[in-house]
A = this chain, B = another copy of it.
Amino acid sequence: MTKINRAFNFSPGPSMLPAPVIKRLQNELLDWNGSGMSVMEISHRSNEFSHVINKSKQLLRELLNIPNNYHILFSHGGASMQFSALPLNLSSPQKIANYIITGQWGLKAEKEARRFSQTKIIANTMNEYRIPTQEELLIDSDASYVHYTPNETILGLEFPYIPDTGNTPLIADVSSNILSKPMEVEKFDVLYACAQKNIGIAGLAVIIVREDLLNQHQAHTPSLLEWQHLSDTNSLSNTMPTFAWYVLLCSLEWLKELGGVSVIEKKNRKNAELLYQCIDQSDFYHSTVSDTAHRSQMNIPFTLKNSELDVLFLEQAKQANLTNLKGHATVGGMRASMYNSMPLEGIMTLIEFMQNFAKKYGK
Contact = CB atoms under 8 A, between A and B. Distances in A.
Contact of A4 (B5, B30, B115): B30
Interface in A102-121: 112, 115-116
Contacts of A5: 31, 36
B37 A9 contact: yes
- Give the number of times this chain occurs in the complex, counting copies: 2
A13 interface: yes
Given A1-B27, A23-B30, A25-B29, 13 more contacts: A6-B36, A7-B37, A14-B239, A16-B37, A40-B247, A77-B81, A78-B239, A80-B224, A81-B238, A115-B222, A116-B220, A241-B241, A243-B244
Contact of A115 (B25, B44, B79, B219): B219
A194 interface: yes
A56 interface: no
Interface of A: 1, 4-7, 9, 11-17, 22-23, 25-27, 29-31, 35-38, 40-44, 76-81, 83-85, 88, 112, 115-116, 194, 196, 201-204, 218-225, 237-244, 247, 321, 323-324
A222 B31 contact: no
Contacts of A224: 77, 80-81, 84
B44 A202 contact: yes
Nearest to A222: B84
25 contacts: A1-B27, A4-B30, A4-B31, A6-B36, A9-B36, A11-B42, A12-B43, A17-B40, A22-B30, A36-B323, A37-B323, A44-B202, A77-B224, A80-B224, A81-B222, A84-B223, A85-B222, A112-B223, A115-B220, A116-B220, A202-B242, A203-B244, A218-B220, A222-B225, A243-B244
